[in-house]
Chains A and B, each alone.
Chain A
Amino acid sequence: MTRRPSRLHLILIPLSLVMVAPLIWMVLLSVSTRDEARRFPPGLPSGVDWHNYVTAWTEGPFGTWLVNSAIVSLTCVVTNLVFCSLAGYAFARIPFLGSKVLFIAILATLMVPIQIIMLPMLIMLRQVHLTDTLAALMAPNLATPFGVFLLRQFFTALPRELEDAARIDGASRLRTLRSVLLPLMGPTLATLSVLTFLNVWNDFLWPLVAVQSPQNMTIQLGLQNFQSSHYSQVSVLMAGTVTSQIPVLVMFVLAQRFFVRSIASSGIK
């Protein structure tokens, strides 16, 4: 067979361009001058105006917002890994009283989005003086029903013999989990980490409801707040938008396969 360029490129190239165009346009606007960003018909910037980034960073505490987002997302990743592993293991392996009922109750909350529970959450958090704090942002995501479900599936599929030897040697369940099963859980935990991180990092509605002070905002809420005061400074707004997307974008480009596999496995039923 002779290999010549596939005709599929003729579809793939325009397709890719359409998908990437909005992001390229964002970057181009972010280095345009104010007049270049506001003309018709629109066109390429004549040079690279980095000044917009300086302006964006002096006018919006993007650093604080990024750090807040990182704190909130990473905390939720860690708590999900620990708590969901424990619960997933117990639901899969330990025959304890009420396990079925509990598991079904937890699964039922899979269908409850934040929109439905945000008002009582707000009232609850106020009563313990936690509104407008990073802790409030973490609360709904500290343990997710999806994580419990994912880990339970994993343990159910695992051969029982693996842990039996350790159990017969008298190791406690916790010890077995830590020393025998943990090394096998890598890919599943990685999946849970990626999905939890993306979810919490990109969350918008709950931060919008739970936080008012600029210093407690996450990057998404901060960006929206920044937008509302920079409507007419398109280039500066875009510089802020690029700033807000860079961390996850870089992670994605570096670890594409990893992201894709995680997202694909959220489709397992």
Chain B
Amino acid sequence: MPARRRRLRAGDHVSGWAFVSPVVILIGLFGLVPVIWTFWLSFQETDLTSPGTFVGTAKYSKMVHDPVFWQSARETGLYTLMFVPLTMVLALPIAVLLNQRVRGMLFYRMAVYVPLVTSTVATGIIFSQLANPDFGLINGALSKLGLPQQMFFQSTSEALPSVVAMTVWGWLGFAVIIYLAALQNVPGELMEAAALDGCGRVQAFRHVELPMMAPASGFLLVWLTINAMQLFDEVYVTTKGGPLHATTVLVYYLYTQALVNFDGGYGAALGVVLFLLILVVTLVQLWLGRRTSHYEAK
């Protein structure tokens, strides 16, 4: 039998590699190689068209002394800190609402989900109109209520919160779906038992359902944070990073440096920083998630 086993294994190696080779080639070529290349590019002075020259860590020291970089890092952080909690805090109660037995629930759900399939470009175009200071629906509503009208995307202090509101609208449906799926996984018996124990509906939610939302929350926290740090489309369509860099987030800055100013090395260096940030945030959150779910298991 040893001979046969060896033959089989050799066959396994061949078929295994044959099965994975398309994916390995494609992901290697368009996933792994470019990452390494980006690192290499960040040590170069290049306009992306002609071969670059090696400049060591010049691009990184430029970054340290670049006030716009620091501002973009701050705006990205602020955006993430507003966007992620807001989305999650709104999504959970909405998911609970949508989990009730009420007539017409299909329509309510559809209403909450539909922004999800609206593209980021369309979202940006629509919200530019809604938030237009002079003709927009939102200011129209404010003036009906006798409230002062706002500048939204055109004000340095309101632009970033406006981007947050717009993107929360776009992402809420996703977070609700995740929470709703988690809620539907809560065994009915558990809730019934809680009811028998004399728990009110609210108490039952707090003691039975809420703890079981932890994995979904953990996933959302990681997923929304990673996506928040990659914000680009909506900014490109609405504010172009302005006014006065108030919405210049990291990826937008990367784009302008690499593909408007054609400082390819600097763009790559910004990409490396973004990569490391995403890596760190993900690892920290995964680690935290493991710790908290560990406590809850007890």
A binding-site residues for B, Cβ under 8 Å: 5-6, 8-9, 11-12, 15-17, 19-23, 25-26, 29, 37-43, 79, 82-84, 86-87, 89-91, 94-97, 99, 102, 105-106, 108-109, 111-113, 115-124, 139-140, 142-145, 148, 173-174, 198, 201-202, 204-205, 208-209, 220-221, 223-224, 227, 234, 237-238, 241, 244-245, 248-249, 251-253, 256, 259-260, 263-265, 267, 269
A263-B177 contact given A38-B135, A40-B134, A119-B258, CB 8 Å threshold: yes
* Dominant secondary structure at the A interface: helix
Given A42-B136, A119-B271, answer yes or no on A86-B19 (Cβ-Cβ < 8 Å). yes
User: Would you mind naming 10 contact pairs between A and B with Cβ atoms under 8 Å apart?
Assistant: A22-B130, A113-B278, A116-B274, A120-B37, A121-B34, A220-B120, A220-B122, A241-B122, A245-B118, A259-B117
Determine how close the nearest CB of chain A comes to the CB of B34; give it in whole angstroms: 4
Q: A115-B274, A117-B38, A205-B233 are in contact. Are A41 and B31 (CB under 8 A)?
A: no
Q: Does B297 contact A (CB under 8 A)?
A: no
- Min Cβ gap B61→A in Å is 20
Cα separation A265 to B178 with both chains bound (whole Å): 8
Bound complex: CA of A19 vs CA of B251, how far in Å?
27
User: How far apart are B200's CB and chain A's nearest CB, in angstroms?
Assistant: 16
Q: Does B216 count as interface, using CB distance less than 8 angstroms?
A: yes
Tell me the smallest distance from the CB of A253 to a CB of chain B, in Å.
7
Question: In the complex, are the beta carbons of A86 and B12 less than 8 A apart?
Answer: no
Contact status A260-B177, CB under 8 Å: yes
**Contacts A23-B126, A263-B177 given: A90-B20 contact, CB under 8 Å?**
yes
Contact of B27 among A17, A21, A113, A143 (CB under 8 A): A143
Residues of chain A lying within 8 A (CB to CB) of residue B27: 106, 109, 143-145, 148
Q: How far is it, in angstroms, between the C-alpha of A84 and the C-alpha of B146 when the chains are bound?
A: 57
Q: Is the CB of B19 within 8 A of A173?
A: yes
Cβ contacts under 8 Å, A19 to chain B: 111-112, 114-115, 169, 172-173
Residues of A within 8 A of B102 (CB): 6, 8-9, 12
- Which residue of A83, A145, A251, A267 has the most chain B CB atoms within 10 A of its CB atom? A267
Closest A residue, CB atoms, query B250: A115
Q: If A115-B251, A116-B38 touch, does A267 touch B216 (CB 8 Å cutoff)?
A: yes
